[in-house]
A = this chain, B = another copy of it.
Amino acid sequence: MDARNSPRVSLDRAPAMRYEPGTMRPAMSSRALFVPVALATIAASVLTSSPVRAAAEAGGVDILSILGGLVLILVGAKLGGTLFESYGQPAVLGELLAGVAIGNLGLLGIHGLEPLRSDIGISVLAQIGVLFLLFQVGLESDVKKMMAVGASSLLVAVLGVVTPMVLGLPVSAWFSPTHHTLTHWFVGATLTATSVGITARVLADLDRTASKEGRIILGAAVIDDVLGLIVLAVVAGIIEAANRGAAFDPATVVWIVGKSLLFLVGAVIVGRWLSRHAFRLATRLRGEGVLLSVALVFCFGLAFLAGMAGLAPIVGAFAAGLVLEEVHYQELRARQRETRTMHELLQPIATFLVPVFFVLMGIRVDLGAFGEAGVLGFAAVLTLVAALGKQACSLGVLEKGCDRLAVGLGMIPRGEVGLIFAGIGATLTIAGERVVDGAVFSAVVVMVTLTTLMTPPLLVWRLRPLDGGSANR
């Protein structure tokens, strides 16, 4: 835990700085707008020159557009992060908004960067980046401490799934009266799942991952993922059965629930045994970096298995961090004469890859969706329902002395999970009509965007006073 003492978010110093602009500059706020736009313009004009791209693609992957994209993303992340930290906001909000700026230059007539939205290479790096974030968060958590708030996590998760779903149904029915009832159920389903990436990052930025609120939210997010999976399976199953004219078979749901529970229980029991033995076996390996390599294999392996069980890979990465304990690798670390902690070994990789995830999340925000006719009203009410619905979570907190509102706020972001749901809905049809059509999809995109962007400032606002003047315990 000592490694977390470095000042990540300077909440205590930032407000003072605004009143002493002479002593230290509040981090290039004017330049922050100019530089990314200028860089983006240059990159856009260069990336779109077709002969160069053709030459680069000869090697199989368009590595040059990935490299150009990475430069832009890392520069944007640092400028955005610095700007927002200097005003007491978490770096992640700056990274998201830097991404929104990069991704929506099309509104200023610069379209050259739009391929970044769907660049496979950048997407792979981002998805691996968020695994590292959750692995690190898991390492700072502890199975016993998670279990201690387990009842609260379960209640929080159930309330956070049921309430938005129940509230979402009439909203969808009101705005899309001509659609099939199952469409409304699908819209309700997109409101259920919490995307834990944003909240985990804000908690880490605030150094509150191991707090009671932090543990309840993380545990609830894992259970939430299982519940979301069940909801999706049931709704999609009913739609497919309706199309075939057959009755819905509950056995498929039992299988889905069984698989995911098997993974979670297996990860905690077998994973712990495996971790201990894998690191012991690894003491026979030679060469540099054995400790880190085994940890990576463990993290990727559990993420893979979680995915195989139908869960999000980040749940597996979190589980890997949760069951991996220092005693498992003490012997290996001593043999390798490795002086760095596991956190110090993982941190450079996280520094590289985690911002890629959040900037890309911002890049994928399509501000154009906000302007579509007939969408905005639906989207606004949907967002309201999404945010307020999760506030029922605060009723599920059983512990005393716990900030219930913070738990409710932490459950708000829907992130990529909601988008995946909507994407699946767009591929399903009932009586030849798409379950999720263009307008509904756009509304879901806006809801996901707003719930993602509103969480960091809300959490900082709520958690800041609790620190007693210092965020860096």
Q: Can you list 12 A-B pairs, Cβ within 8 angstroms, ordered by A?
A: A10-B286, A27-B285, A46-B308, A60-B118, A63-B307, A70-B296, A78-B282, A82-B284, A85-B287, A289-B351, A293-B355, A345-B348
Q: Which of B27, B307, B348 contacts A349 (CB 8 A)?
A: B348
CB-nearest residue of chain B to A35: B281
Q: Is the CB of A347 within 8 A of B289?
A: yes
Chain A contacts to B: CB under 8 angstroms: 6, 8, 10, 25, 27-28, 46, 52, 55-56, 58-61, 63-64, 66-68, 70-71, 74-75, 77-79, 81-82, 85-86, 91, 118, 120-121, 123-125, 127-128, 282, 284-290, 292-294, 296-297, 300-301, 303-304, 307-308, 310, 313, 337, 340, 344-349, 351-352, 355, 416, 420, 423-424
Q: Is the CB of B287 within 8 A of A61?
A: no
A119 to chain B, nearest CB (A): 10
Name the 4 nearest CB pairs between A and B, nearest first: A289-B351, A121-B124, A67-B304, A64-B307
- For the complex, give the distance between the alpha carbons of A420 and B64 in Å: 15
Q: Is the CB of B348 within 8 A of A288?
A: no
Q: Is the CB of A56 within 8 A of B285?
A: no
A351 proximity list for chain B (CB < 8 A): 288-289, 292-293
Q: Is the CB of B348 within 8 A of A287?
A: no
CB-nearest residue of chain B to A79: B285
A61 proximity list for chain B (CB < 8 A): 120, 123-124, 127
Known: A74-B297, A284-B82, A286-B82. A56 touches B307 (CB 8 A): yes
A344 proximity list for chain B (CB < 8 A): 340
